[in-house]
A and B are shown apart, each in its own frame.
Chain A
Amino acid sequence: MHEVGIISGVLDAVDKSVAANHADKVYAVNLSVGEETEVIKDCMDFAWEALTPGTVCEGAELHVNMIKPKSVCLACGNEFEHDRFHNDCPKCGSYETQLIAGHELTIDSIDVDIPDDESAEDSAEEPQENSDANAAPHTPDASAAEAYTDAMNSYADSLKSEYRQAPTEEEKRSGDHEMQNEKESQK
């Protein structure tokens, strides 16, 4: 059941993207999962239900796009879809084939609301009085962030061994670094 770990990684990435894009409500998270991975869709759904309450993804849908295995024959160039058990070329019978699809495990995109005032100017100005009532509950305020952190921490604690320690400063920095680049390219 590493689906729980996978979903917690997904939530982490979504959280960063939501912050980088100043989005508020998340409607859906779209993943691509190859059928040749060991990921089971039902377990993903279960993990989603278990982990999203209290996070930015609370109430959002998880869309898992399962991708059929596809290979190319190195002998005759034929491209063909197949199941997990047969990857020999149906045209020439060769076993010299290479998987070109079916091993994905990717966060494709998220469907979100980006409030107009946020996209117009980046500054975190005081929201107008009587601002849209429906925007308020989803604004990532301090208590939501705290609830999210708590949920993640208690999950992490349950998995963490005595051996594992928090990421080193170096790991943190390199992880942040990648997010930074992404943020920049989106601007």
Chain B
Amino acid sequence: MNKLVVSPSPHARSAESVPKLMYGVMISLIPALGVSIYFFGISVLIITAVSVLSCVLFEFLIQKYMLKGKPSHKDGSAILTGMLLAFTLPANLPVWIVIIGALVAIGVGKMTFGGLGNNIFNPALVGRVFLFISFPVAMTSWPEPLQRLKYINAETGATPLAVMKEGMGKQPVSEIMNELPGYLDMFIGKMMGSVGEVAAIALLIGLIYLLWKKIITWHIPVTILATVVVFTGILWLIDPESYADPLFHLLTGGLLLGAIYMATDYVTSPMTKKGMIIYAIFIGIITVLIRVFGAYPEGVQFAILIMNAFVPLLNKYIKPKRFGKEVKHG
């Protein structure tokens, strides 16, 4: 017999691994991708493929030639960042802009901090917000659904949130709502919006899958959504003709995508359950503040990035419940 292996306990490991978790998230994105392909057709495939490939390529190149570290492009995280970035873009965005977005997401959002695990901001959102600021026109023209074979040449229009922002204060909410798709259409994703954010139903299926596979816990997504519902609900109860109802806020824009996929990013969200809840409440509040009172129609991306910056602080001061500190009878 060879020499015995000696190492400290434990001697058993779970089957968890980083790629497994990443692929789990990707699987949960399939319904949203499917619905998006159904409504926006071929352009979704182009955008997603370009985004994923460039993210992986940039990760590989930066690791190999600039950081000279262990190549990490195989752990799946770059593929996931690419998918999530694509999901936040309009389907008619030109390829070269997508590539710039990927470069910023990976290069600035992830690698400048030292790669996976060290970044403070969600890389996909860093890329998305950079594009939003640099290419405001291209990033706010949205193809209308069901022009499946068109790409950059698609007819465009405004998102429901933009229409709402435009009209608010000038005309009653009920009138604005008449110009918008019905709730059922919004629920299944038949409206204008980014590639992956339109289909509420598909995103919720993704959420259930993530919870079932224990890839994420309910704390962040549910708290964000609940906060938005409560906050917009209060405004709506005060004056239903000036403020849209909570359901409108839930179904439109990037809220579900943000709450389920962006805010829950492991690296950039808090390490304790209590921390997660505080983080999520603030994301909900900031989102509504921007949407209702701010300059932009949508605020969830900014809300998440702002709260990402507070995560180190939350981790420092919010500690898990320790065993044996105080005796609580439940």
Q: Do A and B come from one complex?
A: no
Binding site for A on B (CB under 8 A): none
| Chain A residues engaging chain B, CB cutoff 8 angstroms | none
